[in-house]
């Protein structure tokens, strides 16, 4: 953003993009105006590692879930990327007791909007309350039937809520 000469900006991050956005907001509080995250967590639970291992082999995924990723990355690259991601999460869990960025949450000073699908198979609901408790002034919106892709399944409502939050003075 410095290169683009944009001194202040808001961040929207889904899943690992949410983690990256939280880290950036914590490390550079003077430039991040607002933060919107969904499907994100600041630590990993043991049962999440077990769930990741169960879906490491993408050939076991439904066609509906697998095909868009294959179209985007190619079959072999997608298989490789996903397996490496699972391995990385497991290594991070072992090396840091599952902590990804929980220690940085107190440093997030910007208004923060946390959205979450309550049936998310990758990110347990406990993460929402943890983020909300540790990010001062954050707010939450839950989708009771939502999974990990709430921005797709509930696109109109999701976009409306995010836009309202970002435009709020």
Q: Which residues pair with 116 in a beta bridge?
A: 142
**Contacts for 27 with CB less than 8 Å, ≥ 6 apart:** 104, 107
Taking the C-alpha atoms of residue 112 and residue 145, their distance in angstroms, rounded to an integer, is: 22
CB of 135 closer than 8 Å to CB of 108: yes
Alpha-carbon distance values, 47 to 17, 123, 124, 169 (Å): 21, 10, 9, 40
Q: What is the tens place of the pLDDT at every residue in 137-151? A: 999 999 999 999 999
Choice among 15, 102, 130, 157 that is catalytic: 15
Choice among 116, 127, 141, 148 that is catalytic: 148
Taking the C-alpha atoms of residue 136 and residue 71, their distance in angstroms, rounded to an integer, is: 40
**Is 148 considered catalytic here?**
yes
**Is 15 considered catalytic here?**
yes
Choice among 21, 116, 120, 138 that is catalytic: 120
Taking the C-alpha atoms of residue 31 and residue 1, their distance in angstroms, rounded to an integer, is: 10
Q: What is the tens place of the pLDDT at every residue in 93-129? A: 999 889 999 999 999 999 999 999 999 999 999 999 9
**Is 120 considered catalytic here?**
yes
**Contacts for 39 with CB less than 8 Å, ≥ 6 apart:** 14, 15, 18, 116, 117, 120, 122, 123, 148, 149, 150
Tokens in use for 54? Answer: 């169960």
Q: Please choose, from the candidates 127, 97, 105, the residue with its C-alpha nearest in 3D space to the C-alpha of residue 35.
A: 105
Q: Structure pTM?
A: 0.92
Residue 22: per-residue pLDDT? 98
Q: What is the tens place of the pLDDT at every residue in 1-53? A: 999 999 999 999 999 999 999 999 999 999 999 999 999 999 999 999 999 99
DSSP code at position 27: H
CB of 130 closer than 8 Å to CB of 48: no
């Amino acid at each position: 953003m410095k290169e683009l000469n944009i001194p202040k900006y808001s961040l929207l991050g889904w899943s690992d993009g949410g983690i990256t956005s939280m880290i950036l907001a914590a490390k550079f509080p003077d430039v991040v105006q607002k933060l919107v995250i969904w499907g994100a967590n600041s630590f990993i639970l043991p049962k999440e590692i077990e769930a990741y291992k169960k879906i490491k082999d993408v050939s076991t995924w439904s066609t509906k879930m697998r095909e868009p990723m294959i179209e985007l990355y190619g079959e072999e690259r997608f298989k490789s990327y996903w397996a490496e991601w699972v391995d990385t999460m497991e290594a991070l869990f072992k090396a840091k007791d599952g902590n990804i960025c929980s220690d940085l949450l107190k440093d997030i000073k910007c208004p923060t909007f946390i959205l979450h699908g309550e049936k998310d198979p990758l990110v347990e609901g406990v993460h929402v309350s943890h983020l909300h408790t540790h990010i001062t002034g954050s707010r939450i919106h839950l989708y009771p039937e939502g999974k990990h892709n709430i921005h797709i399944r509930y696109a109109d409502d999701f976009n409306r809520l995010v836009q309202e939050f970002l435009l709020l003075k």
